[in-house]
Amino acid sequence: MKFGVVTFPGSNCDHDVIDALRNDLGQEVIELWHKDEDLSQFSTEDCIVLPGGFSYGDYLRTGAIARFSPMMRSVIEFAGKGGRVIGVCNGFQILCEAGLLPGALLQNGHQQFVCKNVYLKSENTSASLTKDVAGRALMIPVAHGEGRYYADEATLESLFANNQVLFRYCDEFGNIVEDANPNGAARNIAGICNKQRNVFGLMPHPERATNAVLGNTDGQLIFQSLINNN
C-alpha cells in the first residue's frame, strides 16, 4: 500500500504525516505538490493524505482555496474510482469544501484555538480506518481553531443511519459526554467518512501520536487499521 501526501502552500503537518507513515509504520510514501495532477502511480488500493496546516493561509475560508488546487481535481477523480483519501484537520476542511464529505468545520464554540490531547472513540466496524480500533478510547492530539463539525439535522441523521461517523470525542473511559467535546462539534463528531467508506476526514492528528518518544502511539493504531483492512 502506497501513501501519497499532498503539500499545499501553508501546509505544516505534511512532514509529520510523511515521517509517521514512512519511519514509524514502515510504509512507502510519495510526496506530492499541490500543482501536480498525475496520480497514475497510485491504484485504488493506495491512499492519498491531505495533511493539516493552514492551506493558502486560510485567508478566504479554511480549505476553500485549496479545494481548487490542480491536485484536488485528481484527488476527486481518484476518490470517485474508489481510491482511499484521508483528510486530517485542514485536510478534513478541504474534503468538505470539495464536496467529498458532507457538512462543514466552523470556528470552535469557545472561539479559541485548542491544542491538547483528547480522547476519541469509534463505534464503526465497517470503515477500514476504524475497524480494528472500534470500542476503544484513543488518546489523539487536536490543534485547531475551526474544528467544530456542523451539519443540519437531516445530514446528521443520515450520517448516523448510514454508519458514516468514524470518531466521536469521549472521556478517557470511552463515555461520549459534553465535557469531552473540545470545540462544540455537533454530537461530539470528530471524524466522518463518505457513504462508500473510502474518503475519511478527522480533526484530531493521529500522525502526532505514532512514536513512543512523544509519549503516545495510539495514532499508529488508526493508520494500522487502514493498512490491515486494505
Render pLDDT for 63-82 as a digit per residue (tens, 0 to 9).
999 999 999 999 999 999 99
Nearest to 120 by CA among 42, 204, 200: 204
**pLDDT at position 61:** 85
Ordered per-residue pLDDT tens for the chain, 230 residues? 999 999 999 999 999 999 999 999 999 999 999 999 999 999 999 999 999 999 999 888 889 999 999 999 999 999 999 999 999 999 999 999 999 999 999 999 999 999 999 999 999 999 999 999 999 999 999 999 999 999 999 999 999 999 999 999 999 999 999 999 999 999 999 999 999 999 999 999 999 999 999 899 999 999 999 999 98
* C-alpha cell belonging to residue 69: 488546487
Q: Per CATH, is 2-228 categorized as 3.30.470.20? A: no
What is the pLDDT, as a whole number, of residue 71? 97
Q: Which residues pair with 142 in a beta bridge?
A: 116
Predicted TM-score (pTM) of this structure: 0.96
Strands (E), the chain: 2-7, 28-33, 47-50, 84-88, 104-106, 114-121, 137-144, 148-150, 165-170, 189-193, 199-202
**How far apart, in whole angstroms, are the C-alpha atoms of residue 208 and residue 219?**
7
Cite the active site residues.
89, 205, 207
Check residue 121 and give its pLDDT.
Answer: 98
SS3 141: strand
The per-residue pLDDT for 124 is: 97
Question: Are the beta carbons of 212 and 204 closer than 8 angstroms?
Answer: no
Residue-range domain boundaries for the chain:
2-228
Are 108 and 136 within 8 A, CB to CB? no
Q: Give 22: exposed, middle or buried? Use CB within 10 Å, 0-12, 13-18, 19+.
A: middle
- d(CA 100, CA 208) in angstroms, rounded, equals 24
pLDDT of residue 60: 81
Grouping H, G, I as helix, E, B as strand and the rest as coil, residue 73 is: helix
